[in-house]
Structure 1
């Protein structure tokens, strides 16, 4: 590790000031461990200083081969959460650097994201923006909203978040249908599409695979996107998918903005086919407050905070801190999920 005045220091780099709770909680947790130094560096400065660090938490930064090539002392690149699509994993592997995510099932992140999905669903059904207009106009008893009771919810991506969402939706009296989280390798040994391992039959009424997504969309009143983002799923919610949805149905995304084709979603809202859109993630982040999609009263947007709760972020900060300690001590790394 780094030699700092005769002391060996393990240095942890957080890329950029966004998602501040991630580094703030980590710094707080590491106060009792002076042999680990945690720094927050502006995104534009990361390539110039990354050679000084042993652990990097990328957050929303694109980590390409150029940046990785400068990480001469790097032992581990990790995400404060589960999405590692911004990291060039092949380049990291060639440089001998491990890449890891923090499993959402053990930190409370999946539960937090599931709660946000329900927040957005209820906001759309009860017409949150119209309610605010009624308050300003001193109107009582309007708008008339809808209930979750009796609705069919299609969970597009039944991974850890999807499972947690299904658990919480069931008491609302809904029918739940779902397809697997990813399908980069979606054929089983018999050559047939297969759902993701671990789908709980007690939580889901009907399950399917890649080829079923438009059929399932046509059955649903609400579609919640929980997919992993990869080359197979980018832009998967496109004009064809949206046209397969019922007129007036609602669409929620708590996963990654790149799963949606912007122009298709805009057109579906403009035509009135899509009943409502609730998103915690966007095509470009930070989200443009002047984006024309916000002109629609049936659009709700939150600033990528689905997983940003104190219990979840403190749990993940502890994982980052513990891993830094393990790297410093040269012991086996635990609590993370390697992707290379």
Structure 2
């Protein structure tokens, strides 16, 4: 028998090393030398580390741990050019998230290191969270809860002008129809909502049943609720700006569980203040954590969660399962699921 294949598990307090090890042991029959370090996220926030984003500040630790590892599995370790240069045996990086922003993919490719991600790991969680935010926003659940918890019993909230809205019978516009958007659409159809979608990359032949494809401007002008599920790119940055907010239906609602950079939140605050928007539900923000003077704090028509849409135990297990499938394929010399740098010259 050959030497065991050395694998570094750089898990954290969400995608834990024990979960990763369990899934690997189930999926892989080869002899593995598993080593592990636990990164501080989410007990300590992530940030930019050298040239990569959304990573734990443990570059020096990774320099020490990766000297002879062939495979690393992580969602928060900074795989910078400096770290990759110090890992001559490394051939596979499995990033247990939807996008490997914590990995210098260009530097990895130049060194023959395959980089894979785990797309769809949080699709169920994020879709359910988007629906939760919609319901909490259109029914103004947080301020009503706070009122009852404070000992009040406001029967005046039954007044017509104070009532919330329903998703049943509403038109809900989804901007983006990836794995999360498709699941949101399916749930909304169970509510008897009319679902329309704007996504330039969707083949109309692949639309879910009873979902209609349209352009962005038509969607904004036709929807009672607009929910964002698009990727943040140079083309989509600030796509919901002051001009586009003005085209939304008066009294409509905006929900964002995708990326904060998709929306001009200063313009959203103004649209709420003048009554053009009835409510907003947000899980993502341009700066995290939020500054104390952020314009949407304190409004009873805004529902806020701290970037938790993907935070379920099932997401962690699904990420580990997908990562284990990548490692199994790599050791078998097969096509790698979730391969980001398809032009890499990797070898098992």
Give 5+ residue unaligned stretches, structure 1. 184-193
Are the structure 2 counterparts of residues 264 and 315 from structure 1 closer, same or farther at C-alpha, using a change threshold of 3 Å?
Answer: same
Choose the corresponding residue for 2:109, options 68, 87, 93. 93
In the alignment, which residue of structure 1 is the partner of 2:89?
73
Choose the corresponding residue for 1:200, options 207, 227, 237. 207
Q: TM-score, normalised by structure 2?
A: 0.77
Contact 2:174–2:226 (8 Å) recurs in 1: yes
Give 5+ residue unaligned stretches, structure 2. 41-55, 342-348
Question: By how many angstroms is 1:34 displaced?
Answer: 6.2
In the alignment, which residue of structure 2 is the partner of 1:243?
246
Contact 1:178–1:207 (8 Å) recurs in 2: yes
Count how many residue pairs are aligned between Structure 1 and Structure 2.
312
CA–CA distance in 2 between the matches of 1:325 and 1:149?
Answer: 45
CA–CA distance in 1 between the matches of 2:240 and 2:313?
Answer: 31
1:152-171 alignment to 2 at 5 Å? 152-171=171-190
- Superposed CA offset, 1:165-196 (max 9, x none): 1111012121110022xx5xxxxxxxxxx634
Are the structure 2 counterparts of residues 140 and 308 from structure 1 closer, same or farther at C-alpha, using a change threshold of 3 Å?
Answer: same
Choose the corresponding residue for 1:20, options 14, 21, 36. 14
* Structure 2 residue 170 is matched with structure 1 residue 151: yes
Q: TM-score, normalised by structure 1?
A: 0.79
* Structure 2 residue 138 is matched with structure 1 residue 138: no
Coordinate RMSD, CA, aligned: 3.1
CA–CA distance in 1 between the matches of 2:5 and 2:78?
Answer: 29
User: Any idea what SS the aligned residue of 2:332 has?
Assistant: coil
CA–CA distance in 2 between the matches of 1:46 and 1:149?
Answer: 50
CA–CA distance in 1 between the matches of 2:99 and 2:206?
Answer: 20
Choose the corresponding residue for 1:257, options 245, 256, 260. 260
- Superposed CA offset, 1:79-122 (max 9, x none): 32323355443333223222222131xx5x32222111110000
